[in-house]
Amino acid sequence: MINPVILAIESSCDETSASVIKDGKVLSNIIATQAVHEQYGGVVPELASRAHQQNIIPVVSQALLTANVTKSELSAVAFTRGPGLLGALLIGCSFAKSFALGLGIPIIEVNHMQAHILAHFIEDPKPEFPFLCLTVSGGHTQIVLVKSPLDMEVIGQTTDDAVGEAFDKTAKMLGLPYPGGPMLDKAAALGNPKAFAFPVGNMPGYDYSFSGIKTSVLYFLQKQVKENPAFVQENINDICASVQFTLIKTLLKKLVQASKDLNINQIAIAGGVSANSGLRHTLQEYAKKYNWQVYIPAFQYCTDNAAMIAMAAHFQFLEGDFATQYVSPEPRMKI
């Protein structure tokens, strides 16, 4: 088919999203967020699954309406197979399979992390192959060598917590509201990044570790608060700026090493943490310093969304990469 029209569904965590893509052009990208988790300070899997059940039909209907596409015009239905929360993935997978079966069209299973990388092809400018992509989210921190849309190799990754977890857990230590990462980023913009020194992790090769900095921050705060109970309130911006500076320095240290070793100057970032203003600003500085061509998706395509699932599905459709009705979610799916 020359101009495939694909409906894509994303339900890996706490956002229900649907998108329609036609011949590689995204026509709609509808996202329903779940505010129910705020009172718990984190995502509650069972509540996420229930919210997906409530949201998926209205979200899909709105995506088709916004794209001005009818069900009969669809060429395939795509969905996130993994990684993600099992119950949440089940909702999107089950809906996609039944919807496609009723229409008599194929289904496409999409890897959520590959889709984050392919979000760079939704809008211009687009990176050239091969390129390096730093994928950073609440659950993943990876350096990926991207050889083609369907040929990717993870060359470095975290050995413990992801950088998103380090942001969120530090924010929780500081008493910032959920979601903690964006709150920490906002406070960091008002602080001095050199106010306090924290250790930069140094794992072998291109791998990362973020458990050390979390422990360091915890002990630092315990010591300071013991001496001055108001320490956090009085220094919140400087603490956030210093932690963010250290996390970003840790991330980019390995990226610089990989870029030099592989002689690749096409550099991209993807995933929810790529929305972090400090990371974006520092990456632009590194671009000048190391003569990089840097690519950062628009904000709406950094966090979980179905447009990136649609873009990945478009490339898979062109290669005839379809799934069967026997497919099931894979919560720990790898690139």
R_g over Cα of the chain: 20
299-335 pLDDT, tens per residue?
899 989 999 999 999 999 999 999 999 999 999 999 9
pLDDT greater than 90 at residue 26 = yes
pLDDT greater than 70 at residue 298 = yes
Amino acid making up residue 173: M
Q: How would DSSP label each residue in 285-304?
A: HHHHHHT-EEE---GGGTSS
Query: Nearest Cα to 181, choosing from 323, 302, 28, 287?
Result: 302
Instruction: Please count the helices (runs of H) and the strands (runs of E) in the chain.
Output: 9, 10
Instruction: Output the pTM of the full model.
Output: 0.93
Cα separation of 93 and 99, whole Å?
10
112-154 pLDDT, tens per residue?
999 999 999 999 999 999 999 999 987 899 999 999 999 999 9
Tell me how crowded residue 75 is: count the other CB atoms within 10 A of its CB: 18
Contact (CB, 8 A) for 294 and 283: yes
What is the mean predicted confidence (pLDDT) over 180-189? 93
Cα separation of 181 and 163, whole Å?
10
The average confidence (pLDDT) of the chain is 94
278-296 pLDDT, tens per residue?
999 999 999 999 999 999 9
Query: Nearest Cα to 68, choosing from 27, 125, 30?
Result: 27
